[in-house]
Amino acid sequence: MHKINRINLEGHEMPTHWYNIVADMPNKPLPPLHPVTKKPVSPEDLAAIFPMGLIMQEASTERWIEIPEEVYDIYRIWRPTPLYRAYNLEKFLDTPAKIYYKYEGVSPAGSHKPNTAVPQAYYNAKQGIKYLTTETGAGQWGSSLAFACQYFDITCKVFMVRCSYDMKPYRRLMMQTWGAECIPSPSPYTRYGKEIYDQDNNHPGSLGIAISEAVEIAAERDDTNYTLGSVLNHVLLHQTIIGEEVKLQLNKEGIEPDVLIACCGGGSNLGGLILPFLPDKMDGKNIKMLAVEPSACPTLTKGEYTWDFGDGAHYTPLVKMYTLGNQFVPAPVHAGGLRYHGDSPIISQLHKEGIVDAVAYQQREVFDAAVLFARTEGIIPAPESAHAIKGAIDEAKRADEEGKEKTIIFCLSGHGHFDLASYQIYFEGKMEDYEMPDEIIKKNLAELPKRELVMHK
């Protein structure tokens, strides 16, 4: 008998609806506030940059939202994704724990991001939008949106942080292959970008600047909208297909999870995995839900739960979330997708209420876990996803110490094919650890209200 190391779903078993956690949260997440009036933003406020289909989802309290047929057909290119039993990793760890991982790297863009890029492009196309803007750091989100836009005759404009644009040509080329326009940020094409660009043509850029550039263009043009790859409620909604599939896959083998783990930048792959299991937890099942973040950007573990902007220029609404302050510049760790000062409001509230736990790791121990995983399970993980691997390994060790046999499931959100330069630095022993000193985080947070007053008095 062969060991079952991969649990598949058949095509017809793929879920037909997204799960909206807001329907089942006893305390609903607080609505975002308008950056100037400080009153809850209205659908009309958001309509300048988002299509009505997504705005309705952002505020929806319906439990199940049907996946449109056009989106479903594209999902079927790579979904349902496999759930693996990590037999070889377990053997190496000599643990009685059962470790499973959901692998989202099988999508054409190589991560979970197309799960939301495709519906975002769809709802925008439905409303007649011809251009979508967004920002990207390492390029995971930008390439996913480029992939999605080509199915809906939308031209995708990606503002890519200039230092990444120069140093990571492969993801940029991926966007170009999929027909997108990729612009180094700061650029001379927006007011906010031009201000910075004119002072320094070689400014390395930041995610905060790139967001502001993408939002500015979308706000000013009728045929252009803006997209965000994480944080927002509708993004987490689209990602719930991950956890829904995991539930079906576990049911097939009669498996009950004890621990669910994902890396957490803005919170979308974490939310996608854990939210469908939340009703079970509220019904009394003992499921630990764990967010893993980098020590260099410890939003949940060291940030504060307060109102903050999503971007550095304060174009976006204020959201109630864990934040390190919108002027926080994280150290240049290799997990570019986890370098965000804030976090999803839904995940933030669940963490505040003690439902979601969090832990932070240094990048060298994360790469130790990544290489161990590649050499046991055969898949080279993205640095972001490797945070979840490290979390799973430590949870297995903890269970062993406690004499318990736990079932641990983590989300392997993407492959590392475009991150091998980071592996090289690791192999050469040149990788550094970064820990943001507490006093700098405090200083950033202390400045928060003052900055708001300065910007919007």
Q: Which stretch binds a second copy (CB under 8 A): 23-31, 68-76, 241-249, 295-303?
A: 68-76
* Residue 92 in the binding site for a second copy (CB under 8 A): no
Beta carbon nearer to a second copy, 284 or 429: 429
Among 167, 282, 420, 446, binds a second copy (CB under 8 A): 420
How many whole angstroms separate alpha carbon 51 and alpha carbon 45? 11
**CA dihedral for 252, 256, 259, 260, sign (positive or negative):** positive
Beta carbon nearer to a second copy, 144 or 323: 144
Q: Which stretch binds a second copy (CB under 8 A): 176-184, 234-242, 263-271, 323-331?
A: 176-184
* Residue 119 in the binding site for a second copy (CB under 8 A): no
Q: How far is the CB of 198 from a second copy (least distance, A)?
A: 28
How many whole angstroms separate alpha carbon 189 and alpha carbon 169? 21
* Residue 374 in the binding site for a second copy (CB under 8 A): yes
Edge-first strand listing for the sheet containing 98-103:
6-7, 83-85, 98-103, 407-412, 259-263, 288-294, 357-361
Q: Which residues contact 392 (CB under 8 A, 6 or more apart)?
A: 86, 99, 101, 259, 261, 408, 410
How many whole angstroms separate alpha carbon 33 and alpha carbon 345? 12
Q: Which residues contact 324 (CB under 8 A, 6 or more apart)?
A: 297, 298, 299, 302, 303, 330, 341, 342, 436, 441, 444, 445
Beta-sheet pairing, 131-136 with 155-161:
parallel
* Residue 28 in the binding site for a second copy (CB under 8 A): no
Among 77, 440, 446, 455, binds a second copy (CB under 8 A): 77
Among 26, 44, 69, 222, binds a second copy (CB under 8 A): 69
Q: How far is the CB of 255 from a second copy (least distance, A)?
A: 16
Binding-site string for a second copy from residue 120 to residue 159, where x marks contact by CB under 8 A and - marks none: ---------------------------x--xx--------
Residue 165 is which amino acid?
A: Y
The values of phi and psi at residue 131, to 5°, are: -130, 140
How many whole angstroms separate alpha carbon 384 and alpha carbon 112? 12
The token pair at 34 is 């308008």
Q: How far is the CB of 261 from a second copy (least distance, A)?
A: 21
**CA dihedral for 292, 295, 301, 306, sign (positive or negative):** negative
Among 34, 379, 433, 434, binds a second copy (CB under 8 A): 379
Residue tagged 């599939």 (tokens): 245
Query: Residue 33's CB: how many other CB atoms inside 10 A?
Result: 17
* Residue 108 in the binding site for a second copy (CB under 8 A): yes
* Residue 364 in the binding site for a second copy (CB under 8 A): no
How many whole angstroms separate alpha carbon 235 and alpha carbon 48? 18
Q: Which stretch binds a second copy (CB under 8 A): 29-37, 256-264, 315-323, 377-385?
A: 377-385
Q: What is the DSSP letter of 178?
A: T
Binding-site string for a second copy from residue 296 to residue 335, where x marks contact by CB under 8 A and - marks none: ----------------------------------------
Q: What is the DSSP letter of 218?
A: H
Residue tagged 């963490």 (tokens): 351
239-258 binders of a second copy (CB under 8 A)? none
* Residue 375 in the binding site for a second copy (CB under 8 A): yes
Strand, helix or coil for residue 311: coil
Q: Which stretch binds a second copy (CB under 8 A): 31-39, 215-223, 254-262, 421-429?
A: 421-429
* Residue 4 in the binding site for a second copy (CB under 8 A): yes
Among 59, 163, 173, 287, binds a second copy (CB under 8 A): 173
Residues that bind a second copy (CB under 8 A): 2-6, 8, 10-11, 69, 72-74, 76-77, 84, 88, 106, 108, 110, 147, 150-151, 169-170, 173-174, 176-179, 371, 374-380, 417-418, 420-421, 423-424, 427
